[in-house]
């Protein structure tokens, strides 16, 4: 395939859609352009007022303490509702600021492949803001756990994700208690009506969604056992039932941890407290099923909905040979001939569609707060996949009639706003390069107005895909 065609694939499918000039730049050496983005460590996300998860959560915990106090006394129900509202009021603007910073980064970055990989991993280790507990920390989760490790090892990513308060809250591990833990024994002695025990949500999702995959060969026994391993992985608080630790930060609570050696996937893990789960996670991270699962997801995301088996096998092998060194896997991915054979093989998600549109049109990044609402409008609210499985990744999940029509209407509205400020005829080759069809070219050339030409470019079959 000619370099010009490869460049179109590089900027559209691997990047976030071409900003004007980017395609030309990538065209000199598309694979090299992608590879170079993996060289330096990931940049931090800038944004005034972005706060650390621990800071946000400790403030929320303080509000929760007020709520508990109100409940304990004779305070009316309205007082309780008022505190719930206060937590929402605390989280909502933080969420919007985080989402806005994410959009700004997407519009401004000159390492779009790296940013795209960040999205991939955030979606892989999904938390969703429709659970209010994580509304305030979904963005900081991405900034703290995911971004800094996208160019590290898979094991580091997995550990960071599992350690992060957002994940612990999202999958309910912060209150999971070993049935034979000190805390459970204490409760039993006091004949507490509240039964303490494990919550296997996090353990199951790690096995099913983060590592081995649903067909990865684990059993319910493994889930239960792994959940026991994970007991004690919690969040620090100053007050409440479980004081101790740094408020809002990961805290291992030995009194909640199920004592004893445990067996996961046939391997026995001695109990050394917090290290027991770390050991399991490290083994999971280099398990062949994990390698296969990650290879499949990467190939599905970057090559095609139904990726060629030989491509998946190759990535799996590289993953295993490199002990999950992610840059090695990414480099293997962009070297695969299958990565460059079929242009526009993926139907864009709404988020990809919006980001690529805004990048292509060189929308200034101060537009980010306004772009924020577009994601929800087109069906992909930021940080809200709605499930720990993350957003789905096949065309059929996104190309419904109403979704397509919404996208067209959104594109047309944007085009009308921009009107003659953008020239679709000169942008089209800079977005689509050699991938532009003659029909798209002709349609844009024949448009009756500048804004109509932009609509036709934005809604062109090629631009609906990447």
Using CB under 8 A, list all residues that contact another protein. Answer: 364, 367, 370, 373-374, 377, 395, 399-402, 404-406, 408-410, 412-414, 416-421, 423, 437, 439-440, 443, 446-453, 455-456, 459-461, 464
Residue 18 Cβ, how far from another protein at the closest point, in Å?
20
Residue 418 Cβ, how far from another protein at the closest point, in Å?
7
| Nearest residue (CB) to another protein, 29 versus 409 | 409
Residue the block writes with tokens 């000159």 = 110
| Nearest residue (CB) to another protein, 312 versus 361 | 361
| Nearest residue (CB) to another protein, 159 versus 378 | 378
- DSSP element (H, E) containing 402: helix 401-418
Residue 399 Cβ, how far from another protein at the closest point, in Å?
6
Q: How far apart are CA 373 and CA 371, in angstroms?
A: 6
| Nearest residue (CB) to another protein, 271 versus 409 | 409
Say whether 263 sits in a helix, a strand or coil.
strand
Other C-beta atoms closer than 10 Å to the C-beta of 436 total 19
| Nearest residue (CB) to another protein, 110 versus 423 | 423
Residue 176 Cβ, how far from another protein at the closest point, in Å?
42
Residue 361 Cβ, how far from another protein at the closest point, in Å?
11
**CB within 8 Å of 241: residues ≥ 6 apart:** none
Other C-beta atoms closer than 10 Å to the C-beta of 91 total 21
Burial label for 288, CB within 10 Å (0-12, 13-18, 19+), is: middle
What stretches of 265-404 adopt beta strand conformation (E)? Answer: 267-269
Residue 195: CA count within 13 A, CB half-sphere: 3
Q: Phi/psi of residue 251, each to 5°?
A: -140, 130
User: Do 235 and 168 contact (CB within 8 A), yes or no?
Assistant: yes
| Nearest residue (CB) to another protein, 333 versus 453 | 453
Q: How far apart are CA 31 and CA 37, in angstroms?
A: 10
Residue 10 Cβ, how far from another protein at the closest point, in Å?
23
């Amino acid at each position: 395939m000619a370099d010009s065609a490869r460049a179109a694939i590089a900027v559209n499918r691997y990047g976030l859609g071409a900003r004007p000039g980017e395609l030309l730049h990538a065209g000199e050496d598309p694979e090299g352009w992608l590879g170079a983005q993996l060289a330096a460590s990931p940049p931090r996300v800038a944004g005034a007022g972005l706060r650390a998860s621990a800071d946000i959560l400790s403030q929320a915990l303080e509000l929760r303490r007020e709520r508990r106090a109100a409940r304990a006394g004779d305070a009316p129900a309205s007082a309780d509702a008022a505190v719930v509202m206060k937590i929402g009021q605390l989280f909502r603007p933080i969420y919007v600021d985080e989402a806005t910073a994410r959009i700004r980064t997407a519009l401004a970055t000159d390492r779009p492949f790296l940013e795209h990989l960040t999205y991939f991993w955030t979606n892989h280790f999904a938390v969703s803001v429709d659970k209010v507990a994580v509304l305030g920390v979904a963005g900081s989760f991405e900034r703290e756990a995911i971004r800094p490790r996208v160019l590290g090892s898979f094991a580091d990513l997995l550990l960071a994700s599992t350690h992060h308060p957002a994940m612990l809250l999202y999958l309910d591990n912060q209150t999971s208690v070993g049935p034979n833990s000190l805390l459970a024994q204490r409760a039993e002695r006091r004949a507490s009506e509240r039964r303490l025990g494990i919550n296997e949500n996090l353990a199951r999702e790690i096995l099913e969604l983060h590592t081995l995959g649903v067909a990865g060969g684990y059993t319910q026994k493994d889930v239960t056992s792994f959940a026991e391993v994970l007991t004690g992985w919690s969040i620090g608080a100053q007050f409440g039932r479980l004081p101790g630790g740094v408020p809002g930060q990961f805290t291992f609570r030995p009194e909640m941890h199920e004592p004893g050696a445990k067996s996961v996937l046939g391997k026995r893990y001695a109990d050394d407290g917090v290290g027991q789960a770390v050991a399991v996670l490290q083994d999971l991270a280099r398990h062949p099923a994990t390698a296969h699962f990650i290879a499949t997801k990467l190939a599905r995301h970057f090559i095609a909905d139904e990726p060629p088996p030989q491509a998946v096998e190759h990535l799996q092998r590289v993953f295993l040979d490199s002990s999950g060194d992610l840059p090695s896997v990414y480099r293997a991915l962009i070297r695969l001939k299958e990565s460059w054979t079929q242009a526009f093989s993926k139907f864009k998600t709404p988020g990809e569609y919006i980001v690529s549109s805004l990048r292509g049109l060189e929308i200034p990044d101060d537009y980010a707060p306004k772009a924020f609402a577009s994601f929800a409008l087109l069906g992909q609210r930021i940080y809200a996949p709605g499930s720990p499985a993350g957003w789905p990744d096949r065309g059929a999940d996104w190309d419904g009639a109403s979704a397509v029509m919404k996208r067209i209407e959104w594109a047309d509205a944007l085009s009308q706003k921009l009107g003659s400020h953008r020239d679709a005829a000169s942008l089209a080759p800079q977005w689509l390069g050699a991938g532009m069809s003659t029909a798209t070219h002709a349609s844009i050339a024949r448009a009756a107005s500048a804004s109509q030409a932009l609509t036709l470019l934005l809604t062109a079959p090629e631009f609906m895909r990447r």
